[in-house]
Copies of this chain bind each other. A is one copy, B any other.
């Protein structure tokens, strides 16, 4: 299992657009066979900042996400709305380490 945390900073005038488009990406991403979680969060202190918390069964499954059509649509749609480049960081899971507790 692997988790990628993506930090996103959106231009203020596109916050609502970003939420709408990201919910669509969430709905499609959780249908991927290797996906365990795809949480989208908005920062309470700064509503222009978001986190995507993406858990996959393997690094291969995480990589496969970037080959999906819904990822491509999301990426191209949100590109002009970014206030700065997105930053993704990958993590190894310490706990819980039973896959059933992730899905």
**A residues neighboring B (CB under 8 Å):** 3, 5, 19, 22-23, 26-27, 30, 38-45, 50-51, 53, 89-96
Are the C-beta atoms of A91 and B41 separated by less than 8 Å? yes
Shortest 7 CB-CB contacts between residues of A and residues of B:
A41-B91, A40-B94, A26-B95, A40-B95, A44-B90, A42-B92, A23-B95
Assembly of this chain: how many copies? 2
Q: Are B39 and A5 in contact (CB under 8 A)?
A: no
Q: Kindly state the separation between the CA atoms of A6 and B53 in the bound complex, as whole angstroms.
A: 13
Which of A19, A27, A91, A95: most chain B Cβ within 10 A? A95
- Could you say which of B22, B38, B91 contacts A42, with CB atoms under 8 Å apart? B91
CB atoms of B96 and A43 under 8 A apart:
no
